[in-house]
Amino acid sequence: MGGRPWRRLSCAGYEYPAVVSDEQQFATFWRILPWDHVPGSLIVREAGGTVLHLDGSAYRPTNSERGLLVAANEDIWRTAHAALFA
């Protein structure tokens, strides 16, 4: 994925903009509280990115029990998901 090392910051306020600005290709989140992820997921989706639960279902702010995989686009989402959770 771009040859850059994966740097995990665990900060939604940084990682969502980093995905949109192509600073990083994807981000994973295990703890998904709505106030952390509703704004960022909207920004990523409006920029053409993909935000889905780890099982591939659509992100729902009311479902905080499944993690999220956020990616710059659907192809990157599939590639990252296969690499991380195969």
Tell me: the pLDDT tens digits for 1-16? 444 545 556 789 999 9
Q: Name all contacts of 74-78 with Cβ < 8 Å and 24+ positions apart.
A: 74/50, 76/1, 76/25, 76/26, 76/50, 77/26, 77/50, 77/52
| pLDDT tens-place string over residues 12-49 | 999 999 999 999 999 999 988 999 999 999 999 999 99
Q: Give tens-digit pLDDT for 68-82.
A: 999 999 999 999 999
